[in-house]
Amino acid sequence: MSIVAPAANPFLCSSPSLSTPHPTRRFALQCLPNRTSHKPLLLKRSIRAPRASPSSSSSSATEESQPPQSEAEEEGDLYEVELEKPYGLKFMKGSDRATYIDAIAPGSNADRSGKFTVGDKVIATSAVFGTEIWPAAEYGRTMYTIRQRIGPLLMKMEKRYGKLPDVADLTEKEIIRAERNSGVVSDRVREIQMQNYLRKKQQKEQRQNDLREGLKLYRSGKYEDALEKFESILGSKPEPDEMSVASYNVACCYSKLNQVQAALSALEDAMKAGYDDFKTIRNDPDLATVRASEEFELLLKKFDESFINENAINAIKSLFGFNKK
């Protein structure tokens, strides 16, 4: 099932009738690794062995167990972590199209590792399957690899200690806040505001372009390439309606690729973001693979209140014998 975006808002979709032979696709996001361009990358574990010998005194052992000042971690240092699903990481796309950590879920596998900080950059990851390590490509391809990984995920990261990729924006916000608090709005603040407006406008236009390209690729049956475009939308701080439609299209692409778990995850993201066309979800031919799974109905029941209410009404009718003939 495809979604046609109204002219007033190209990110809001209305589903065509089921008689439409092959409707236009919604937005989908997620990228595939270009296997021909990825070369295995051997990683060196960044684990230091303790230096204290058995004969060392307790005081010297304490001193030796601490890394020298020159070896202390600094911004730009590399580290490795192996994680099991669910990872508990949320990612964002930087202006360089690379992948950065946007948030770490408290108590998650990533949080318990004690390694990650917000802003850290993904340098390489395990391949989709096997023991190869793939250098991180642009955001969409990296996200595809992470979502599709079979088995534990090894990640090679660059430490940034909370430094987000768009540092200039943070600095500008601080300038604006400081001047507003002083009661003065200078030409510099107005210039920053205009730059921010133009930047956001450009980002929105890019998301719209990614959407159009993704839909075109989807209609051509190039689901992996469509995923890359849709993933770019999700990684660039989309608005809620953009996120819901992009996530829905991600689910459709994964369903077409027979990747059921990834499709279910994307479908859940779509509904969390506000996608509530449950009739379309239950009938969309592009989600046929997902609907065949046992988890599909369980997932939908978490969000479809009309379905829950209908079941409750039927239960009451049965209790009082209204359904008996």
- Res 145 pLDDT > 70: yes
- For residue 35, the model assigns a pLDDT of 39
Query: pLDDT higher for 100 or 129?
Result: 100
Q: For residue range 290-308, what is the model confidence (pLDDT) as tens digits?
A: 999 999 999 998 898 765 4
Decide if 225 is inside a domain. Answer: yes
Highest mean pLDDT among 18-22, 26-30, 152-156 belongs to 152-156
Assign 57 a pLDDT band (cuts: 50, 70, 90): very low
DSSP-assigned states of every residue in 76-131: T-EEEEEEPSS--EEEEE-TTS-EEEEEE-TTSHHHHHT---TTPEEEEEE-SSSS
| Domain boundaries, position 21 | 1-46+72-164+209-293
| Residue 131 CA, distance from chain mean position | 23
Alpha carbons 25 and 280: distance in angstroms, whole number: 12
CA atoms within 13 A on the CB side of 64: 13
Considering only CA atoms, which of 244, 234, 169, 227 is closest in space to residue 207?
234
- pLDDT, averaged across the chain: 74
Considering only CA atoms, which of 164, 166, 167 is closest in space to residue 101?
164
- Res 31 pLDDT > 60: no
Decide if 60 is inside a domain. Answer: no
Considering only CA atoms, which of 28, 38, 80 is closest in space to residue 231?
28
Q: Total structural domains in the chain?
A: 1
Residue 201: strand, helix, or coil? helix
Decide if 23 is inside a domain. Answer: yes
Decide if 198 is inside a domain. Answer: no
Decide if 239 is inside a domain. Answer: yes
Query: pLDDT higher for 15 or 268?
Result: 268
Decide if 111 is inside a domain. Answer: yes
Decide if 199 is inside a domain. Answer: no
Decide if 306 is inside a domain. Answer: no
- Picking from 51-60, 270-279, 315-324, which range would have the lowest pLDDT averaged per residue? 51-60
Assign 81 a pLDDT band (cuts: 50, 70, 90): very high
> Which CATH number belongs to the domain containing residue 31 in this structure?
2.30.42.10
Alpha carbons 29 and 213: distance in angstroms, whole number: 11
| DSSP β-bridge partners for residue 125 | 134, 155
